Chain A
Amino acid sequence: MPKLSIDGREVSVADGTTVIQAAEKLGIYVPRYCYHPGLSIAGNCRICLVELEKIPKLQIACNTPVTEGMVVHTKSDKAEDGRRAVLEFLLANHPLDCPVCDQSGERDLQNFYLNFGLYNPRFKEQKVKKHKAVALGPHVMLDQERCILCSRCVRFTDEITRTGEFGIFNRGDHAELGIYPGNELDNAYSANVVDICPVGALTERDFRFKARVWYLSSAPTVCNGCSQGCNIDMHYVLDRPHLNDGARVVRVKPRYNPDVNQWWLCDEGRYSFGWIDRARLSNVRGPSANATWEQALTAISTALAGLRKERKGARIGVIASAQLTNEELFLIREIFQSALGAQVSASVPQKPGSCDDFLIKADKNPNTLGATLLGLSGPDARDAAQIVDEGLAGNLAALWVMGHDMVELFAEEKVRELSKKVSLFVFSGTNENPTVPLAHWVLPSAAYVEKDGTFVNCHGRVQRIGRAFPPLKDSREDWRILLELAGKLDLPLDWRGPEQIFRALAKALAPFEGLSYETIGAQGVDVSTAERVPGAVAP
């Protein structure tokens, strides 16, 4: 454990730690372009130069291992002068078109210039002309002139995706970033290169000229695209509908979590947010026009209460979903399974999706493991197909489908028949689908980013999804719908919201024992291990 001093403060770090990491431990941020903790060290941008006592030349903090007694200055005149020089070089051939750059406002080139810039440019020569607005693939656009050749993207496609699309061609100040002529940057993680680009060279085609980043709000959540549960930030805009055709979600960015997705996110997860603002169910639909929540919940609860009274709870079928939160599944369990004695399943057949050995999982539900821990899915749980068969056999009086498109899963005739056979067919969900018109009652529910709750990913990590913004129009969170229903059924579930529900869940279920929203924190906790410490904080 060498002990060293950085800017007059002492710190002990493990052997092999670099100066940039040691500085981070003290909260001292050394500027960087080519350095990225998820990639190999390139050492080419030279912006992280620091002064080391007894060493005449400035050294790069990213590749200098600490030694016992080392004395580092990151803010001395010499270090700052070095950075000033490096920045001037980096900007020599940079087009300085920040006002029209999508990455303006969130890029380090700009930020560091504000800190260390020269503000009195000496460069009077013609800049090197390179290619602009080159579409590299479905998601990424390249501006070669803005590129500072840090090689982060090259290392990403070499080391993370191992697809090797990027290269830096030619040499000297004619060196330029690109992909091989005629090829496409179309790997499953391509847009990550935009996130790690420290300038505006790589931009998202989807986000291109949509909004200035400073108009965006950001909320931490978890991707619901598959069972990996990658941590993301949802970037949205509520007060400037003209920026994004009225849609609230503008883009999705990966959020660092060392135990789940590190810095990365697949393109499929990144670009599947459209449903949050498109073709949403926004009003309650029932037998009569202008149905209200009150009418719906009264009608439904009356029917359910009637079945309970006749001890015919088993004639209620609930096809729940691994898209729902643990809290909601727990309520379903308490209300339908325990109190009403209904047949409940969150085990719904699904076509296996694409998968790889990195982040993308074939199971496209974010909470299959949560549903399994709650006994609603998995080998011991009832299967949705069984419930459908029961319904078709005339053994069900009520059927509640949560989110699924039954038409796609079980064929239209069967669902039509079901719809006739049961006297109550409730559909609750977020979006229109062919099942919706066949339901007797349609309850618009909130998208996952519109509600709080937790998912358990495929590796057993329970993570909080937070709430980015309120539910759209008249839609309601599933937990709220369920709690109101419980109230109408006179069930003593007096929880006010997800956090309280989770507390009860943690008491009831061993794998969650002792957990709370506080201990889950922003990075989640592993439910499958005894050690339940909050995830490490991002460096």
Chain B
Amino acid sequence: MKLSDLEGKAAEILQRYEYPKAAMLPLLWLVQQNQGYISPEAEAWVGRFVGVSISHVREVVSFYNMFHTEPVGRRELRVCTSLPCVLRGAEDLLERIKETLKVSPGETTSGREVTLTEVECLCACEMAPMAQLDERFVGPLEGETVDRIIKDALTEAGKPQSTPEPEPFICSDGPVLSTRFKDPDGTWFEGYVADGGYLAARKALTTMTPQQAIDEVSKAKLRGLGGAGFPTGRKWSFIPKTTKPKYLVVNADEGEPGTFKDRYIMERDPHALIEGILIAAYAIGSHKAYVYIRGEYFRSAKRLQRAIDEAYSRSWLGKNIQGTGFDLDVVIHRGAGAYICGEETALLTSLEGGKGFPRIKPPFPAISGLFSCPTIVNNVETLACVPFILRNGAERFAGIGPDSQGGTRLFCVSGHVVRPGIYEESVGVTLRHLIERAGGVRNGNKLKAVIPGGISAKILRADEIDVAMDFNSLMAAGSMAGSGGVIVMDETTCMIDALASAVKFFADESCGQCSPCREGTGWVHRIMRRITEGQGTLQDLDDLLAIAGDMEGKTICVFADAAAWPIQSYIAKFRDEFETYIRTGRKALIREKNREAAVCPS
């Protein structure tokens, strides 16, 4: 399709935003979906539409890794090589695909059937090792499913696909978030309402003041489940009482390796999120909410859009909702491949049409956030808890968790467990119990280590798992609850490989804004690569620790700190292994053992 044919659609997209520049990512997506890639002409076209110079369009295109500036194959196969997939054999998977397709990552097959791309975490660790073929997630890619995915990759899109739909374990027994998770095809408006849906919103809009809604959420001790754990009610109360427009921005840029909960909320119970959005918007006085969904989550965006359309048609969104006089519009905004956009201020910059650069604070988003207006950014899971709180009362929710934090979490368990998947538990559950619930360590192997809250969290040894999973307890244990991504490692795990994978992730995903992070993540990545190539020295370990220390606490956002923590904790807790590895080059031995373990039926 020619650019001139896209103008009508582009004008329609511009209508959704208060400022034209915010339409940058959707317009780039529009071009790429219609032309396969973003040509210089298209960059100029988008620049004219949104009112920025072509250099700034190129900045954005080159920042997000889902955009192509050159033609690619008819299909794209994106293979995840982040830690949770690596633990389940992603490196071998990639090798097999490379050999069969006879291409390296970044290349397209000779018949232009498929472009192979190596990517960081797609947040589908429950199906590791996994890949994404165009818009679809597939996994676990083991044994003959590897042949199937390769066959599918070479088959035209739209033709029957041979790779089966993933069937990971997803709990549906509640009590708060997972009760409508049973149907893989999702719970829609009728089903949601039949289950008591929108009662909470009705209650808030008709019987409560915004302040009462905030108080209820505060009493429930709901804390931000995106990773920071900030008390949600308190966050809402920061919104100043000005006449400026206020925005609610939903952080659905799920990206922390080991995390995949928000996707299930959006795909299986999207109305719970919409109802949470409605209540939160009412509480803070916002009439416009944006849901920023990571670019790779095509299906989540589609399903949530379907639910939003349902809500509009049933007067649960739009003007004069249910005759209460309250207005709310919800717009889905898709990212394009950048972990950093999960950081709330980077998300806002990205939403405004820029590179995902975190912002210097002050000002804080509650004072000056999206379009320089008061803004609250909340995670999907956090908001999905809100209807339960208003329907069942703050006491009930608070009672589920320990004193410092109410409710449950959708714990994402991945790595070397028998049954990777989502497990809803009180936030006070112990790590040991979670691992047991996931079937324990695979093959009867011994547990070696666990990352309790996504790849940034400090690693725990096998003897440290009798810890509760709430924010305070894990912080006291020297780690963090983070996003609730539990990555389990058994005795076959080479900690050097694991750390190399983690630092590669941070080097690939650093936005490059602050010098300590930009240079530090690249530096430690190169040191770790040298070590895994057998060229390490014992001095490297001290250098790694020194560099990690120098990266900490010196940047605009905490990405650099998050990049430093794995380095510090892996080396501190497994120093003997690192030293032995460097001295003797044990890598080959551990690899072999790992491979044996992986082929055993699990």
Give A residues with C-beta under 8 Å from B: 41-47, 49, 56-58, 60, 63, 65, 82, 85-86, 88-90, 92-93, 122-123, 125-126, 128, 148-149, 163-175, 178-183
Please name the residue on chain A nearest to B553 by beta carbon. Answer: A57
Chain B window 493-513, contacts with chain A (Cβ cutoff 8 Å), 1 for yes, 0 for no:
000000000000001111111
Chain B residues lying within 8 Å of A125, measured Cβ to Cβ, are 523, 526-527, 530
Chain A residues lying within 8 Å of B62, measured Cβ to Cβ, are 169-171
Are A45 and B360 in contact, with the CB atoms below 8 A? no
Are A165 and B509 in contact, with the CB atoms below 8 A? no
Are A165 and B511 in contact, with the CB atoms below 8 A? no
B550 at the interface (CB under 8 A from A): yes
Chain A residues lying within 8 Å of B512, measured Cβ to Cβ, are 149, 168, 170-175
Nearest-Cβ distance from residue B45 to partner chain A, whole angstroms: 14
Nearest-Cβ distance from residue B491 to partner chain A, whole angstroms: 32
- Ordered by A's residue number, 27 sampled pairs between the chains whose C-beta atoms are within 8 Å are A46-B514, A46-B515, A46-B516, A47-B515, A49-B554, A56-B553, A58-B553, A86-B515, A86-B516, A89-B515, A89-B551, A93-B522, A123-B523, A125-B523, A128-B522, A149-B518, A163-B53, A167-B53, A168-B512, A172-B512, A173-B518, A173-B521, A179-B55, A180-B43, A180-B53, A180-B54, A181-B40
Are A172 and B511 in contact, with the CB atoms below 8 A? yes
Please name the residue on chain A nearest to B506 by beta carbon. Answer: A172
Are B519 and A168 in contact, with the CB atoms below 8 A? no
| Alpha-carbon gap, A181 to B39, bound state (A) | 12
Chain A residues lying within 8 Å of B513, measured Cβ to Cβ, are 44
Nearest-Cβ distance from residue B361 to partner chain A, whole angstroms: 8
| Alpha-carbon gap, A93 to B507, bound state (A) | 14
| Alpha-carbon gap, A126 to B527, bound state (A) | 10
| Alpha-carbon gap, A169 to B55, bound state (A) | 9
Nearest-Cβ distance from residue A377 to partner chain B, whole angstroms: 41
Are A58 and B56 in contact, with the CB atoms below 8 A? no
Chain A residues lying within 8 Å of B520, measured Cβ to Cβ, are 89
Please name the residue on chain B nearest to A173 by beta carbon. Answer: B522
Are B519 and A173 in contact, with the CB atoms below 8 A? yes
Are B63 and A171 in contact, with the CB atoms below 8 A? yes
Please name the residue on chain B nearest to A90 by beta carbon. Answer: B515
Nearest-Cβ distance from residue B328 to partner chain A, whole angstroms: 33
- With a 10 A CB-CB cut-off, give which of B62, B519, B522, B550 has the most chain A CB atoms: B519
Are A171 and B510 in contact, with the CB atoms below 8 A? yes
| Alpha-carbon gap, A164 to B360, bound state (A) | 22
| Alpha-carbon gap, A302 to B56, bound state (A) | 69
Which of A49, A92, A128, A171 contacts B511, CB < 8 Å? Answer: A171
Are A44 and B362 in contact, with the CB atoms below 8 A? no
Chain A residues lying within 8 Å of B508, measured Cβ to Cβ, are 172
Chain B residues lying within 8 Å of A172, measured Cβ to Cβ, are 507-512, 518, 521-522
Chain B residues lying within 8 Å of A180, measured Cβ to Cβ, are 43, 53-55, 58
Chain B residues lying within 8 Å of A168, measured Cβ to Cβ, are 59, 355, 512
Which of B56, B507, B554 contacts A164, CB < 8 Å? Answer: B56
Are B507 and A44 in contact, with the CB atoms below 8 A? no
| Alpha-carbon gap, A43 to B513, bound state (A) | 9
Are A122 and B543 in contact, with the CB atoms below 8 A? yes
| Alpha-carbon gap, A90 to B123, bound state (A) | 32
B104 at the interface (CB under 8 A from A): no
Please name the residue on chain B nearest to A34 by beta carbon. Answer: B515
Are A148 and B509 in contact, with the CB atoms below 8 A? no
Nearest-Cβ distance from residue A34 to partner chain B, whole angstroms: 9
B556 at the interface (CB under 8 A from A): yes
| Alpha-carbon gap, A57 to B519, bound state (A) | 20
Which of B59, B516, B527, B556 contacts A167, CB < 8 Å? Answer: B59
Chain B window 126-166, contacts with chain A (Cβ cutoff 8 Å), 1 for yes, 0 for no:
00000000000000000000000000000000000000000
